[in-house]
Amino acid sequence: MGIFSALGIGYSGLSTSQSGIETTSHNIANVNTPGYSRQRIEQKAAYPLDTASGEVGTGVKVEDIVRMHDEFVYGRLKGASASLAFGTFSETTLREISDSLTDLDNKGIANDLNDFFNGWSKLSQYPQDGAAKLEVVNNMKQLAGDLNTLHKRFSDVQKRLDGNLVESIEQVNDLAKKIVDLNKQINKIENVPHRHANDLRDERDRLELEMAKLVNISVSKNNVKIAGKETHTDAGNGYNINIAGHNIVDGVTWHPLELAQADKATPFQSVYDIDHNQQKTDITEQLRGGKVGAILDLRGNRYDPATQKMENSKVQKYIDHIDAFAKGLMLRANTIYGAAAQEKIETKSIPGLDQNTPLTDFPEIKTGDFKLVVYDNAGNRLLDRAITIDDTTTMQTIADAINQNRDDTGDNIATNDLDDLFNASVSSDGVLQITPKTAGLYKIAVEDNGTDFAGWSGVNPIFEGSSAKDIAVRTEIDKNPALLAASMSGADGSADLATQMVNLQYETIAFQAPGGTINQTLSDFYRYSATTIADDAYSASVAKDSAELLHKTVTEQMQSVSGVDMDEELMQLMKFQTAYQASAKIITTVDQMLNTLLGIKQ
């Protein structure tokens, strides 16, 4: 040991204090950098020298520069961020959908429904008034048009969600690629002993957090515990990100997710994982959390080609509600209007129906009976024949029942009954035709008794279409409102058909809604559907508020661990500055000692 050893000790203190000042300055400079974790130097006494007088210290050295990071708190932050992203996206989308059902400024389905019944009420008072008929037709067009618009709006949201999914998965792939590039840099730096890529790790954590906001991820790192403290030692190559059981990041390699349609019949995109062996696995149904989880919760995660609908979809549920409303309206309104007399009857072609298909295979048809009623040209009711529908009834059995020789009038005359005046036939695709044997003498109508046969089969409909997507006023009536019937028989002054249409507003209808049959009036079912959507929007808003509160709490906790506190950093700066000055004083003192020693020699 000698005087030069003291000089080395002073230099070690000077160097260590300089490292502390540089690290503290780095913290201060990054006080507003997102995702930055403050750093601290860890210093220890240098190895002492063993002398005859005992061990003599050799100064201080910087052992490490560590980032103040708690992986457990960071994991909570990722979970909270994912929940917030899920809640925010869901709340925004559902609020948009809910607002589209709000009836303001005398517009909307509820207002259209009131106008529909008010128009028929006026027609029931003035059954021959052309203006009243025109008003009814215009009200029906408005109702049908608004249902078309609502269906399109919901469908457009679902298509837009599919685009959001594509965009989000592309972002996930982009983030994964950047993380892999960072892992390569981290690996290069940390393969040198005692070197830590602190800033690169911060950047990787920031990207990891962004990915967690998009989709639920599971991250694994090689960890060891030294002196009870968990330390990450992956060096970039022991780091993995797993999504739905499949690794998208394997250290310094990545496996991008792929987007594709399941088949040509599927209009929506699915998400696929491609493994090392190029095996393709559909993981759409396994994706959870974050923005992607919210998108799939709203859009649906599986397409059913049979129904041509997305499954597990909130938006599809809302579309089905609107479709159920439109179908219920069409079924009952068309059934009532089927009682208007016409020269012949021809049903529509129905998918899945042939002449021998049991009618009760279709949920719209109920067991019971309906009457075929014959009128003369003056509007006099001549006869009727009841047709029973049970579990064995087909279009062919209905035709046979019409053609059967019966005494409908009860007068024992064999030439004035239904089978004498009309003939029934059925085509191979189940279309029933009832035509007069002598044209121009008689008219026929269908009076229903709870079967909904006329509305289901398309007997003289007032509405056309199959759902809210394409519901419309029957073309002939739309072009010529004067053809609108207010009377069953067609007799002047009669308004019995219009009165039945008015009473439809009080009738309980069996709506085929998502989850099962719901028996309500038209107005009640529409309110129920709108309330269902509003409740979902409210629940999403509450969930988002809760997620925001949790995220704020965890962010504050993370900030207390990793964030830069200016007051604390300034204190650290003062501490290292003082130490630096003291170390400089040691060097100055040694310098004076050397000068004194040299002076003695002279």
Encode pLDDT of 204-213 as tens digits: 999 999 999 9
Of 443, 444, 453, nearest in space to 395 by CA:
453
pLDDT digits (tens, 9 = 90+) for 55-90: 788 888 888 888 888 888 999 999 999 999 999 999
Q: What integer pLDDT is reported at residue 235 of this predicted model?
A: 52
Which stretches within 191-313 are classed as H helix? 198-214, 290-299
- Most confident among 56-65, 231-240, 298-307, 540-549 (mean pLDDT): 540-549
Token duo for residue 83: 């929940």
Q: What's the Cα-to-Cα distance from 305 to each of 27, 162, 309, 311, rounded to whole Å?
A: 57, 17, 7, 11
pLDDT in tens, 440-497: 899 999 999 999 999 999 999 999 999 999 999 999 999 999 999 999 998 888 999 9
Strand-strand pairing, 246-250 and 240-243 = antiparallel
C-beta separation of 27 from 68 below 8 A: no
Distance separating alpha carbons of residues 206 and 31, to the nearest angstrom: 15
Residue pLDDT, tens place only, 158-197: 999 999 999 999 999 999 999 999 999 988 888 877 788 8
Q: E strands of 244-342, at which residues?
A: 246-250, 253-254, 258-261, 269-274, 280-282, 302-304, 309-311
Of 38-47, 331-340, 426-435, the poorest mean pLDDT is in 38-47
What average pLDDT does range 535-556 have in this prediction? 94
What pairing do the DSSP bridges indicate for beta strands 269-274 and 258-261? antiparallel
Q: What is the mean pLDDT of residues 231-237?
A: 53
What percent of the chain is modeled with pLDDT above 70?
96
Give span(s): CATH 2.60.40, the chain.
341-459
For residues 93-104, average pLDDT: 83
Structure confidence at residue 277 as a pLDDT band (50, 70, 90): confident
Q: For position 245, what pLDDT does the model report? A: 87
Kindly state the tokens that stand for 274: 């491609």
Are 318 and 97 in contact, with CB atoms under 8 Å apart? yes
CATH number given to 341-459: 2.60.40
Is residue 225 predicted with pLDDT exceeding 50? no
| Averaged pLDDT, 491-516 | 92
- Band the pLDDT of 228: cuts 50, 70, 90: very low
